Structure 1
């Protein structure tokens, strides 16, 4: 299993719309092959700084979802609400 950390920063005043759209992406990811679980977290020092931590069965499953037309379509709605580029880190257990 791998974990994928997705870091996003939302432009000021777009939080409610962002929440709705980002929830839609996570809901769609749930049905993607290899998706295990996910959660969204907020930076306590900056409420516009958001993190999604998703567990995937394998990196291949994640890459399939990441490159999918469905994710690209959904992200096209989300990207204009962000004031920085999305940062994605793929993590695995050490050792």
Structure 2
């Protein structure tokens, strides 16, 4: 059963360029992972600093393996430091 992971973040304007680079690198790394289907990044119309990433995976196991991987954790630590808060994830199944 496929899943979708919703990742919501508030992007501080003073770190937007650095964060966008990290997001591109993180997505490129995710694309190499077993079970990754695809993803998209959306900006909220009425609040442009708010972003939503929708990441699609073949299974919760595939996502979980990527979530705890050392490679992803390194990206996530850098992102959280720039954002100033811990990233929250919501997982939905199709």
Higher helix proportion: 2
Structure 2 gap ranges (5+) = none
| Rounded Cα–Cα distance in structure 2 between residues aligned with 1:83 and 1:61 | 28
Give the TM-score of the pair, scaled to structure 1: 0.91
Segments ≥4 residues shifted beyond 3 Å: none
Q: 1:68 matched to which residue of 2? A: 69
Give the TM-score of the pair, scaled to structure 2: 0.92
| Rounded Cα–Cα distance in structure 2 between residues aligned with 1:68 and 1:9 | 24
Q: Over aligned residues, Cα RMSD in angstroms? A: 1.1
Spell out, residue by residue over 1:45-67, the C-alpha distance to the aligned partner (whole angstroms, 9 max, x if none). Answer: 12211111011000000000000
Q: 2:45 matched to which residue of 1? A: 44
Q: 2:78 matched to which residue of 1? A: 77
Structure 1 gap ranges (5+) = none
| Rounded Cα–Cα distance in structure 2 between residues aligned with 1:91 and 1:31 | 22
